Chain A
Amino acid sequence: MAEDTKPTFVRYPLLWLAISFSCGIVIEKYFDDGFPVWAIVCLAGAAFAILTMPRTSSAAAVLLSFCALGGVCYQFEIAGVAGDRLKTIYDSQSIKSGEPVEVEGILVGLPELSYDGVFLRLSANRLRYRSQTSDVSGDVRIFVPTSDADSLGDLEALGLQNNSRLLVECALQREENFQNPGVRSRIQSLDEQGLDAVATLKSPLLIQNIGESETFSLTGAIFAQRQRLIEEFRGRFDGKTAGVLIASLLGDKYFLDKQTADLFREGGTFHILVISGLHITFIGGIVLLIAGAFTRNRVWQFLAATAFLWSYTLAVGAEVPVVRASTVFTILLFSRVIHRQGSLLNSLGACALLLLAIRPSSLLTPSFQLTFVSVGAIVGIAFPLITNLRRIGTWMPSSAEPLPPLVSMFLRRFCETLYWRDVMWEFEGKRQIYSGHLFKLPFSRFRGEAALQKAGAYLCEGLLVSLIVQICLLPLVVFYFHRVSIAAVVLNLWVGIVLAAETFAAFAAVAVAQISETLALPLVRLAEAANSLLLAFPRFAVDGGWASARIPVYPAAGHALYVLYFVPVAIAAVMIFRWDPFAHKRNSMRRLMVATAAGVCLVGSIIFFHPFSSPRADGKLRIDFLDVGQGDSALVTFPNGETMLVDGGGRPVFRNSDDESDAESFEPDVPRIGEAVVSEFLWQKGYSGIDRIVATHADSDHIQGLSDVAANFAVGQVMVGRTAVGDVDYDALAAVSRRKNIPLVTVSTGEVLEIGGARVEILNPAAGQGNSDNDNSVVLRIAFGELAFLFTGDIERAAESLIVQNGLNADVVKVPHHGSRTSSSEEFIESANASFAVISVGKKSRFGHPHPEVVERWRDHGAEVWTTGTKGTITFVTDGKELTVESFVR
């Protein structure tokens, strides 16, 4: 074995070093070994390696010392955040998040345009808080609305340029919002974007441009160029086409509408809308091709390609994935320049090592992992496999390979169909002194149709690459996106090809339009047609219901499964990498291959079909009140394991009365509460289905999220009090239920359900028709053993006085209407006689909820008041006698 390892290490040293470096980071992250231990291990490893230079053990020592180095670097990064960073200031609570401050800083790039405002990225230098000024560092992102002509004019009057020095008065925010177990931390995602804080301004009037920087700069010109192109695209193409082009070519995703974005997500092709490796490779390839036509000098080619690539990277905002992709491409090109055998694996290792040395924590980000696993799969598995298939298909006797490949007849025929051409053998026959006939038996013969055969070969190779990438990414996409797209294998090819065509058409249109608008018109139409073609196939897949499946995650220790999946994948990768169809020695490879394939399938299907993820019957009633900001959502898990979701949160959508005439108004692609919070929480608990969902009434902050839940999970039943046909959010829920054949039942006062030993009474609304307004909210009383819980929706005084008639007596009450003063009347509170009052409301409510007098009233009656906005998820568990309560934020 030792003989085997050594040459591999020497052939791909950087790959191995990168792997061991990453191991160090992971170990440090999860086991926290402390700095001195790492430093000693690192030095000892290095010393040992130097002393025992030529042996195999010294290689192991080098790897060990790199592993330790990874740990050290990670620790340095964590501990090395400067004291004047905004991050530090806000995390230590010296200034509270949301307090008004004055930030002075340098504008990074130009304002990022969006459909209803602009985003500024400011590198802060100075901060004034309560008349005290201090020097600070760190980046902040500020949103400036430009909803009307006045504010747009004010913004333009500021004359913002790259590197302008700005003074902004704003309330910087750096705090968590939806605090539920498993839901992505907002601070963490800010850190991943390199941002310390964010702010939303009321008006551009709060910005001052101090210090004019009128001088010309190349970077400024590049940014200006990009903005000009965004405007060009917006002005010239229809909304959808412009959105796709701007996102995929210029890296500004704010013009994408939700419908299109979701289509791409469901098809597993969303990565094409985010500038990343694929784009860089494509653009770099084209530039290289053009440069190659002019000069054969590799240095010039390298310079031209990198210069263009990096200015592009800069122009699209130099976000981390783009920089990463450009770095990989540059390193690969550079290895060509210095006439190294451009081993892709080694370059990949070098790139990973470089990026990790700069920011070790990036290893833990989804984007880094997705990039390197997919590129690794292409370079380490797909390319070697395709090379071998080609060799099999084009084999003819030679001194190096005198015997035909040792593979099954089926594979041989398949490869020959793709690659064999009789012409090659005829040509070879003329060169050799001998001649003969080769019996190649392709499945079907392409005589004289080389082009068709070539296209077929490319198509098969594309599908193979796409399939391998999908297989390797399986655990990552399940873990991060809870979605496996089966259609992605085909759709990626489709979208890639059509988008490339659309891109060329669009650029041609813009270029021609500078000369003549009329001449450009056919090109504009062509690009728009390409765009509808681009969306047609994914839509077909989505409508057919075979685009993608939503998959929950195994909680806690189950995470190990996702790492475990990579073990057989890695073994398979090594075997495919070393596979030589012409090596005529029999060994046990075949058996091992079957074993690893079985391993991949087994772990893959455990992940995909998640047989162990449904809730267990533990004889306890459990209720989780989720933190959905302004809004309600609670998950009830009955003693027999059945589940019921009462409301699903949501964001109220304010529509302008002018806009309503527009049948298809623009809906921006922002994460919805039902998807990003409620569904995420359920996935992280490992649920793939919910037995019942209850929509108490049709307000957005209660019902909107339920349509996402109904779309993402297998739902047994939807319960409503009143059917509110005509309400946008209600119709959305009804549409999803119809599509997924979920029965929709209306419940009313007096109905009782027995679920797993718990008794669910419905106390409101009275049977009949009517609006689904607050007072017609569904009120549930869930009794189990000696304890009872009351869910009240948004009922107000009128409904409260109706339901108190029989006495309520509940231990835990969800305070009606988010603690508004329109509800929680004396008689209601008295009748409830609760020990816990839960208020479901955000940290800051637009409506001022909860009203202080209501909180006081509950306290006066002896109830402990818990608010989801400050406590996060609030969980009650009871066995019928004892009641335990805990919250996510302690």
Chain B
Amino acid sequence: MAKAPIRISVADLKLTVVFVIFICAGTFLVSCSRARTANDPESKKPPVETAENAVDINSATAGELEKIPHIGRKLAERIIAHRETHGPFMRPEQLLLVQGISEKSFREIRHLIKTE
């Protein structure tokens, strides 16, 4: 009977070690994720400033759209067809859904267009 408690305490010791490891791992994980979330706001870029004379892509005519760089007649027609079948653009980025506008050219004209 006297020996029993000693054995248990050895097991307890091992358990404690396991717990310590778990806690260490846990804090490590927490610190990692904290570090990530803390960085996020800094990496956010300022929103694009829309120019004063930006074209409203929901009401513009084909002629007005063609004045925007990278947009030719065909693309202008496709933009109009798109908003007629799928409803108005909710935000300028949706222009990317139209076939023929690459990401690169969109970035260059982003400040020239708006949606209202």
Contact = CB atoms under 8 A, between A and B. Distances in A.
A571 interface: no
B11 A206 contact: no
A228 interface: yes
Contacts of A716: none
Contact of A296 (B11, B36, B37, B43): B11
Contacts of B33: 216, 220-221, 224
Contacts of B30: 216, 221
Contact of B96 (A131, A159, A205): A205
Nearest to A129: B86
Interface string B73-98: 00000000010011110100110110
B103 A205 contact: yes
A228 B32 CA distance: 9
B23 interface: no
B82 to A, nearest CB: 8
Interface string B87-113: 110100110110001111011000000
B54 interface: no
B106 A218 contact: no
Contacts of B82: 100
Interface in A212-229: 214, 216, 218, 220-222, 224-225, 228
A99 B30 CA distance: 42
Given A157-B44, A159-B40, A294-B18, A205 B29 contact: no
A159 B39 CA distance: 10
A100 B36 contact: no
B105 to A, nearest CB: 11
B45 interface: yes
B24 interface: no
A214 B37 CA distance: 7
Contacts of A218: 29
Given A159-B44, A296-B11, A297-B11, A225 B29 contact: yes
B67 interface: no
B36 A224 contact: yes
Nearest to A132: B87
Contact of A206 (B43, B86, B96): B96
A454 to B, nearest CB: 30
A360 to B, nearest CB: 37
A100 B107 CA distance: 20
Contact of A300 (B15, B44, B87): B15
B28 to A, nearest CB: 9
A304 interface: yes
A295 B97 CA distance: 59
Contacts of B14: 294-295
B51 interface: no
A8 to B, nearest CB: 41
Contacts of A205: 93, 96, 103, 106
Contacts of A100: 82, 86, 97
A304 B96 CA distance: 49
Interface in B26-62: 29-30, 32-34, 36-37, 40, 43-45
A430 interface: no
Contacts of B97: 100, 169-171, 206
Contacts of A659: none
A657 B103 CA distance: 19
A151 interface: yes
Contacts of A7: none
B17 interface: yes
Contacts of B15: 294-295, 300
A150 B18 contact: no
B32 A224 contact: yes
A743 interface: no
B93 A157 contact: no
Contact of A157 (B36, B43, B87): B43
A177 B86 CA distance: 25
B50 to A, nearest CB: 15
A203 B103 contact: yes
A131 B103 contact: no
A96 to B, nearest CB: 12
B93 A169 contact: yes
A222 B29 contact: yes
Nearest to A204: B103
Contact of B94 (A130, A169, A300): A169
A209 to B, nearest CB: 11
A295 B14 CA distance: 6
A333 B58 CA distance: 62
A513 to B, nearest CB: 15
Contacts of A296: 11
Nearest to A154: B45
Contacts of A169: 93-94, 96-97
Contacts of B87: 130-131
Nearest to B47: A157
A294 B16 CA distance: 10
A744 B60 CA distance: 60
Interface in A121-156: 129-131, 145, 148, 150-151, 153-154, 156
Point out which of B37, B44, B85, B88 has the most chain A C-beta atoms below 10 A from its C-beta.
Answer: B37
Contacts of A129: 86
A221 B102 contact: no
B70 to A, nearest CB: 14
A157 B29 contact: no
A107 to B, nearest CB: 15
A150 B29 contact: no
Contacts of B93: 169, 203, 205-206
A202 interface: yes
Given A171-B97, A294-B17, A295-B14, A221 B29 contact: yes
B12 to A, nearest CB: 10
Contacts of B107: 150
Nearest to B48: A205
Nearest to A99: B86
Nearest to B85: A130
B96 A202 contact: yes
A156 B42 CA distance: 11
A145 B102 CA distance: 12
B106 A157 contact: no
Interface string A92-108: 00000001101000000
Nearest to A303: B18
Contacts of A170: 97
Given A295-B11, A304-B18, A221 B103 contact: no
Among B33, B87, B90, residue most surrounded by chain A Cβ atoms (within 10 Å): B33
B84 to A, nearest CB: 10
A228 B34 CA distance: 13
B113 to A, nearest CB: 13
B54 to A, nearest CB: 17
Of listed A151, A216, A221, A304, residue having the most chain B CB within 10 A:
A221
A198 to B, nearest CB: 16
Contacts of A203: 93, 96, 103, 106
B18 A153 contact: no
A145 B33 CA distance: 25
B94 A151 contact: no
A556 B82 CA distance: 46
Q: Nearest 3 A-B pairs (CB), nearest first?
A: A131-B87, A203-B103, A221-B29
Given A154-B45, A205-B103, A225-B32, 5 more contacts: A202-B96, A202-B101, A202-B103, A294-B14, A294-B17
Interface of B: 11, 14-15, 17-18, 29-30, 32-34, 36-37, 40, 43-45, 82, 85-88, 90, 93-94, 96-97, 101-104, 106-107
8 contacts: A130-B87, A151-B103, A154-B45, A157-B45, A170-B97, A202-B102, A203-B103, A220-B33
